[in-house]
Structure 1
Amino acid sequence: MLFKKLDTAGYGIEKLNALRKLVDAENSDLFDVLEYVFNSEIKPISRTERVAAAEGAIFTLMNHKQKEFIEFVLSKYIEIGVGELDQTKLPTLLSSMFQSQADGIEELGGDPLKIRNLFIEFQQYLYKTA
């Protein structure tokens, strides 16, 4: 939603990525970059740092298979960016880790709604401030 509004205002993803490079935060979320631009006392953290800070809280109530899947999702987030956390990516992520989306659903307990909730709920810990 925020990025759509910024795009409408003439600040598309290309300009925002240029801003990320300008403040030497290419491995940070754009949210961190924008926060830094508006409050220079808060340095942007990398996606790797963000994941490391949140891992303990993220994995506390997950079984082994769920943890493996969320670790896979987090590796994609670190590698590619926040777009990998979009709900529309969930089928692709399941297919990428498992043979197919159906296999992923079966491996993770068979309930697509619970898998969707898992995918959404772990993300809150990435952006919780200490």
Structure 2
Amino acid sequence: TRAKLLEALAAEGFGHEQLDEMQRIIDADKSDLFDVLAHVAWALPTVTCEVRAANARVHIHSEFNEKQQAFLDFVLAHYVSEGVEELDQKKLTPLLRLKYHDSLSDAVADLGKPEEIGRVFAGFQKYLYQGGC
């Protein structure tokens, strides 16, 4: 998982500060951290989070219902403004609280049971990294 990779990198001396510095050095401040790593490792071009989010929205709008789309658009806006950390599973509840003004019961009413919400949150993320970027 993303979290395990970041933990492993931190254990090897590449913590958040070092990765942020790497991002600045290659002029990829608006790119996903994993684009930065792919660029450094394999010389792949970086893609901005905004482009990744736009590409993911195409799939989201055909795969999810209207209320799920609204929540995922909210998540994507945070991904673009705050970075890849917003996609971590531990961010799901804080994002729900923020979107639904601290009312998790409203979130469940809109998005389904907690298990379904978790599947939606984890499931859409594959669209961020699909080809075409």
TM-score normalized by structure 1?
0.92
Runs of 4+ in 1 over 3 A off after TM superposition: none
1:29 shift after superposition: 1.2
- Cα distance in 2, alignment partners of residues 38 and 90 from structure 1: 30
Deviation at 1:120, TM superposition (A): 0.6
Q: Does the 8 Å CA contact 1:36/1:44 hold for their aligned counterparts?
A: yes
What is the percent sequence identity of the aligned residues? Answer: 39
Q: Note the residue ranges of structure 2 that are not aligned, 5 or more in a row.
A: none
Point out where structure 1 has 5 or more consecutive residues left out of the alignment: none
What's 2:128 paired with? Answer: 126
> RMSD of the TM alignment (CA)?
1.1
Q: Tell me the number of residue pairs that the alignment of Structure 1 and Structure 2 aligns.
A: 128
- 1:88-107 alignment, distance < 5 Å: 88-99=90-101, 100-107=103-110
Per-residue deviation at 1:104? Answer: 1.1
Query: SS where residue 62 of structure 2 aligns?
Result: coil
Structure in which a larger fraction of residues adopt helix? 2
2: CA distance, partners of 1:98 / 1:19: 35
Alignment of 1:1-130 (within 5 A): 1-40=4-43, 42-99=44-101, 100-109=103-112, 111-130=113-132
Instruction: Please give the TM-score of this superposition, normalised by the length of structure 2.
Output: 0.91
> Greater relative contact order: 1 or 2 (C-alpha under 8 angstroms, separation 6 or more)?
2
Maintained 8 Å contact 2:57/2:73: no
